[in-house]
Amino acid sequence: MDYTTILIIIAVAVVLKNLVPKLVKFGEPDKAPNKGEWHYKVRFAKLNKELYDQSNSEEREELLYYYTQKLRQKDNYGEASFQEMPKLLQVVYLIDELEMEVQNGGLLQFFTNSSGQYAQETLEALELVGDGKATGLLEEAVKIINEHSGLMEITKTKLEGMHLHTIFKTSDLYNNESLMEAMNALDNKFYDLKSSYSKLKMVYFEKHKEELWEKLNQN
């Protein structure tokens, strides 16, 4: 084999190396970017009696969490998706949101994020599961927020889609020393509860789950 032939073979190999992958991928749909494990679990979340019964206690909480998040994402956490949720799932969702916000950034974070729109419903959810201590602390937090912000009473009138940070600068809220002192004291009391409301949430769910299975089967 002469030198020229070898060069031709090498040249053809280089062309094929670059061309074949393009031909193989031609016409394939673009792959969605990796949105992380959380988004994946929400997207493919399912909930039914069979899945729930086959799961352990930790898996059951995850089933409920990701399924309620999936329902809320239907309209990007709008009012319609919340109202369409069965009452039992509303209770689960509200208490999960409260726990997540308080554990991540305290009660003030709960109010300044979208979860604060549902302060009244969250109070009702805590009452339903029978956690008097958490209910009392959240009521006290609502009172403190109203005293410092001059807002309408959250416990009587919802903020109609407005978040605290859209009415006041978040920095103003967090720079308010008396507000922060009062909220931090409540945060510590909430932490002392060690998420008792989350445990009571599951007890409440167990009592009423058969009604939910019937509703889900009808859909």
Whole-number pLDDT of residue 99: 94
Closest CA to 96 of 76, 72, 74, 112: 72
pLDDT of residue 150: 57
Q: What pLDDT was estimated at residue 26? A: 34
- Neighbouring CB atoms inside 10 A of 121's CB total 16
Q: What per-residue confidence (pLDDT) applies to 171?
A: 67
Per-residue pLDDT of the chain (219 residues; tens, 9 = 90+): 555 554 444 444 444 444 433 333 333 334 444 468 999 999 999 999 999 999 999 999 999 999 999 999 999 999 999 999 999 999 999 999 999 999 999 999 998 888 888 999 999 999 999 999 999 999 999 888 888 765 444 434 444 444 554 545 566 777 888 889 999 999 999 999 988 999 999 999 999 999 999 999 887
